[in-house]
């Protein structure tokens, strides 16, 4: 392991080499100052076709289904032809995809892109009203869904919406069935050739207190985002050769256990599309279960695991993790939320030579913000790395007034991977995009090396008597208590201070409020410590990406009524 300064020297040299004008990752800058990768795919169709070169390499495993790259593209091409010739979809129309992670989800996505149909992935965890809202809001022409989702929304769809059902008995009143379409004798599909600024994707944000918004991205933005992931992989390899070496020497095909939902950028961009382009194998989990995850890692010899911090915590604490069951696991990554210091320490102690990493991004930026892995992660685990080369990141009340290193403030992003806007929401688009800058809603700072630290969400700050308190900081300190499994902090109304800290705790053994608060006061200023504490034996409500759903947590415990 290098020392921090030696790493920084190596990293700076690697960045110069990777971004050299003759490099594949060379940059261009437009008249507005927005940077882009010169050699990135010009559209998502082109980006996906790169995967075909991997031919008969294994690509997917889900339950009893296995696909090579060639078999996957053959299925996608058949469905592309069916969309065009049998179902009559035209370029620019929209198709919602509503099902849990499975090969048919991926085949449907690629087929839509190839046919010029804009995919609209829906939250498969959503209830009837949520699903119907997104379908109606996006003015969907075709719904591709599994039986469970069909049963939820049956009878509520607009008459004009076609339905392609993936499974079922065959008696359902839908427009078409998957197996029938896959067996039709059709002319070869015609690959659509979209313009770079055409709509490529509508991805709904996972709202917790209001209706989700449709994030519209262009083909250019998707091509840039996927190429940025290629850059980060190259950067990690160049700066962490000793961590790459065991992976190369193992002789194993790079294989990821896919746990993030495909309707989220972490699952769609960073895993599925990136791995498809680069011929890496994916083992699909229908839903997260730590025992099943351990079984698949061992039997399928997975080399990579990426998950939300709560998933990583469960995996690292599994009794079989420190065994030969995870001998093939060389790469560990986190996304979708901040990791506690204790979790990072555990990760690095169990797998000291792993290619561990994390990153920062949001749906509106196609997941592209900052990232790091390997040696950089080891030396600076509290950060989320440097901004990626196409990203300008400013901490300040406005992008024109950046704050000094180490000073916290709102985070702004500008890049060629940023969304076009919110679907049919011009006012909210104008609030989020200001002169080309995306207001993230996150709070953080840049350290003296220019690395990004995320400290909170603006809406998740508790203001006690004029003092700002990070809910994330309170949660992380509570999480270091040996009896605490997870915790959620939030503002409670107070007649004297306006707001004080409330905390819900799930513990693995009985715990007194006084003991917990005494423990926390050793690490936090007194004003940051909770003044109201609730204990529960039930897991805290989280959305599909592992983020705490605090309104639901409070509702379940009747907290609004008690405080």
CB 214 within 8 A of CB 422: yes
* CATH 1.10.1740.10 matches 4-42+219-456: no
pLDDT at 207 (0 to 100): 46
* CATH 3.40.50.10440 matches 467-562: no
pLDDT digit string (tens) for 220-232? Answer: 999 999 999 999 9
Is pLDDT larger for residue 468 or for residue 486?
486
What is the residue whose two structure tokens read 């990821």? 256
**pTM value?**
0.86
For residue 132, is pLDDT > 60?
Answer: yes
CA separation for the pair 262, 360 (Å, rounded): 18
CA separation for the pair 125, 137 (Å, rounded): 18
pLDDT at 363 (0 to 100): 92
pLDDT digit string (tens) for 363-397? Answer: 999 999 999 999 999 999 889 999 999 999 999 99
pLDDT at 337 (0 to 100): 57
HSE at residue 292, side-chain half, CA atoms within 13 A, is 12
If pLDDT is split at 50, 70 and 90, which confidence band does 473 have?
confident
Stretch 74-98: mean pLDDT: 98
Least confident range of 49-53, 125-129, 154-158: 125-129
Closest CA to 217 of 512, 398, 429, 480: 429
Is pLDDT larger for residue 48 or for residue 495?
48
pLDDT at 563 (0 to 100): 55
If pLDDT is split at 50, 70 and 90, which confidence band does 525 have?
confident
Stretch 299-327: mean pLDDT: 91
- Residues spanned by CATH 3.40.50.980 within the chain? 69-190
Instruction: Write down the CATH number for the domain with range 69-190.
Output: 3.40.50.980
DSSP 74-134: HHHHHHHHIIIIIS---TT-EEEEESSSSHHHHHHHHHHHHHT-EEEE--TT--HHHHHHH
For residue 559, is pLDDT > 90?
Answer: no
For 317, residues 6+ apart whose C-beta sits below 8 A from its C-beta are: 346
pLDDT at 562 (0 to 100): 54
- Residues spanned by CATH 3.30.300.30 within the chain? 467-562
pLDDT digit string (tens) for 536-551? Answer: 999 999 887 678 889 8
Least confident range of 15-19, 289-293, 478-482, 497-501: 497-501
Is pLDDT larger for residue 400 or for residue 334?
400
Stretch 265-290: mean pLDDT: 94
- Residues spanned by CATH 3.40.50.12780 within the chain? 4-42+219-456
If pLDDT is split at 50, 70 and 90, which confidence band does 209 have?
very low
pLDDT at 546 (0 to 100): 78
For residue 208, is pLDDT > 50?
Answer: no
């Amino acid at each position: 392991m290098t020392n921090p300064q030696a790493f920084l020297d190596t990293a700076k040299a690697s960045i110069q080499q990777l971004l050299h004008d003759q490099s594949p990752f060379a940059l261009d800058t437009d008249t507005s100052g927005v940077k882009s990768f010169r050699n990135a795919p010009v559209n998502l169709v082109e980006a996906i076709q790169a995967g075909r070169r991997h031919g008969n390499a294994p690509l997917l495993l889900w339950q009893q289904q296995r696909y090579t790259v060639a078999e996957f593209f053959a299925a996608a091409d058949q469905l592309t032809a069916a969309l065009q010739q049998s179902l009559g979809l035209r370029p620019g129309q929209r198709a919602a995809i509503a099902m849990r992670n499975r090969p048919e989800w991926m085949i449907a996505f690629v087929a839509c892109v190839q046919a010029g149909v804009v995919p609209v992935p829906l939250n498969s965890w959503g209830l009837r009203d949520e699903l119907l809202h997104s379908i109606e809001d996006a003015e969907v022409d075709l719904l591709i869904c599994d039986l469970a989702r069909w049963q939820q929304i049956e009878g509520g769809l607009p008459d004009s919406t076609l339905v392609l059902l993936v499974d079922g008995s065959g008696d359902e009143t839908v427009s078409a069935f998957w197996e029938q379409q896959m067996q039709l004798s059709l002319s070869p599909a015609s690959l659509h050739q979209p313009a770079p600024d055409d709509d490529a994707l509508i991805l709904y944000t996972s709202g917790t207190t209001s209706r989700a918004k449709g994030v519209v991205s262009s083909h250019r933005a998707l091509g840039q985002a996927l190429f940025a992931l290629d850059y980060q992989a190259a950067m990690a390899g160049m700066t962490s050769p000793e961590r790459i070496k065991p992976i190369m020497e193992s002789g194993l095909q790079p294989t990821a256990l896919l746990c993030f939902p495909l309707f989220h950028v972490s699952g769609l961009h960073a895993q599925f599309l990136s791995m498809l382009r680069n011929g890496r194998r994916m083992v699909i989990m229908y839903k997260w279960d730590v025992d099943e995850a351990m079984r698949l890692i061992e039997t399928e010899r997975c080399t990579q695991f990426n998950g939300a911090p709560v998933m990583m915590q469960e995996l690292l604490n599994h009794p079989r993790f420190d065994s030969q069951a995870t001998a093939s696991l060389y790469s560990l990554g986190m996304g979708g939320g901040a990791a506690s210091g204790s979790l990072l320490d555990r990760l690095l102690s169990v797998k000291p030579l792993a290619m561990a990493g994390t990153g920062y991004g949001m749906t509106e930026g196609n997941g592209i913000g900052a990232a790091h892995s390997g040696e950089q992660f080891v030396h600076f685990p509290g950060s989320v790395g440097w901004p990626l080369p196409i990203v300008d990141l400013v901490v300040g009340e406005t992008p024109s007034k950046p704050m000094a290193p180490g000073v916290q403030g709102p985070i702004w992003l500008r890049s060629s991977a940023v969304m076009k806007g919110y679907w049919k929401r011009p006012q909210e688009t104008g609030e989020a995009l200001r002169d080309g800058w995306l207001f993230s809603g996150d709070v953080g700072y840049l350290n003296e090396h220019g690395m990004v630290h995320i400290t909170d969400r603006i809406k998740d700050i508790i203001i006690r008597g004029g003092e700002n308190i990070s809910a994330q900081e309170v949660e992380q300190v509570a999480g270091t208590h040996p009896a605490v499994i997870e915790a959620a902090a939030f503002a409670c109304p107070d007649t004297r201070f306006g707001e004080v800290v409330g905390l819900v705790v799930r513990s693995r053994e009985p715990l007194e409020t006084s003991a917990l608060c005494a423990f926390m006061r050793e690490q936090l200023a007194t004003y940051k410590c909770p003044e109201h504490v609730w204990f529960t034996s039930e897991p805290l409500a989280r959305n599909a990406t592992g983020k705490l759903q605090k309104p639901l947590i409070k509702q379940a415990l009747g907290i609004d009524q008690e405080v």
